[in-house]
Amino acid sequence: MQKKDSAKNDESPKVISVLLQIGDWKTLVPDERRRLLIAIALNHCVNNNDLNIVGYLITSSEVYLLLRNKSVDYKEIMVHFNEFLIIEIARYLKTPDFNAQISEKRILFSSHELYNENLKKLITGRKAEIDFYTPQLLRLQNTIKYNIYCSAIDYSGGKSAVILSINNSELKI
């Protein structure tokens, strides 16, 4: 799904790059369902909390996000994201116990800044170019190429699982 950003503004908001490492709950939910639940929670935040996603990649153990927001605090949105995801996981597991366990800890992910510039380029449909061959870059390109939970699909003209705010002319990472 894709959401076009129609507002043009000279002061383009900064892109926030985030790496979320999935916590211990990943052992409770199968990989494909886990990715789907994360995509559902991200779409909920896009539709209800003014989250603007310009790039993402959801793998079995990590979520890479490029976010762009003018007026909404990133941390506040992550709280909404976590709360909604807790509800979805509890619904999937059909147990209120999960809701209570996670609510006590409030930790679904460990959050870090995303520094991998090649990954940022690839998930926003740009080429990652370096002067020499590296197996890491090839592995990264293949991960993105064959992952259905990745925004590169949107940048190549398709529709991915998460709603994006795409305006290539203003995207500054």
Per-residue pLDDT tens for 122-143? 898 888 777 667 788 888 888 8
Q: From the CB of residue 70, how many other CB atoms can be counted at a distance below 10 Å?
A: 12
pLDDT value, residue 167 = 55
Question: Using 50, 70 and 90 to split pLDDT, how confident is the model at 145?
Answer: confident
Q: Cβ(19)–Cβ(62) under 8 Å?
A: yes
Q: From the CB of residue 122, how many other CB atoms can be counted at a distance below 10 Å?
A: 25
Instruction: List, for residues 60-95, the tens digit of each pLDDT value.
Output: 999 999 998 766 678 888 889 998 998 898 888 887
> Could you list the residue range(s) of the whole structural domain that residue 93 is in?
2-170
Q: Can you tell me which residue has the tokens 């790496």?
A: 19
pLDDT at 5 over 70: no
pLDDT value, residue 147 = 85
pLDDT at 104 over 90: no
Q: What is the DSSP string of the chain?
A: -EEE-----SSPPPEEEEEEEE-GGGGTS-HHHHHHHHHHHHHHHHHHS---EEEEEE-SSEEEEEEE-SSS-HHHHHHHHHHHHHHHHHHHHT-HHHHHHHHHH--SEEEEE---HHHHHHHTT-----SS--HHHHHHHHHHHT-SSBTHHHHTTS--SS-EEE-GGG---
pLDDT value, residue 31 = 94
Q: Can you tell me which residue has the tokens 């305006």?
A: 167
What are the structure tokens assigned to 86, written together? 């807790």
82, containing H or E segment: helix 74-93
pLDDT at 52 over 80: yes
What region does 11 belong to: left with phi over 0, alpha with psi -120 to 50, or beta?
beta
How far is it, in rounded angstroms, from Cα 151 to Cα 155?
A: 7
Amino acid in position 115:
Y
**Residues whose CB falls within 8 Å of the CB of residue 27, separated by 6 or more in sequence, listed in order:** none
pLDDT value, residue 37 = 95
The domain total for the chain is: 1
Compute the average pLDDT of residues 100-114.
Answer: 74
How much is the mean pLDDT over the chain? 80
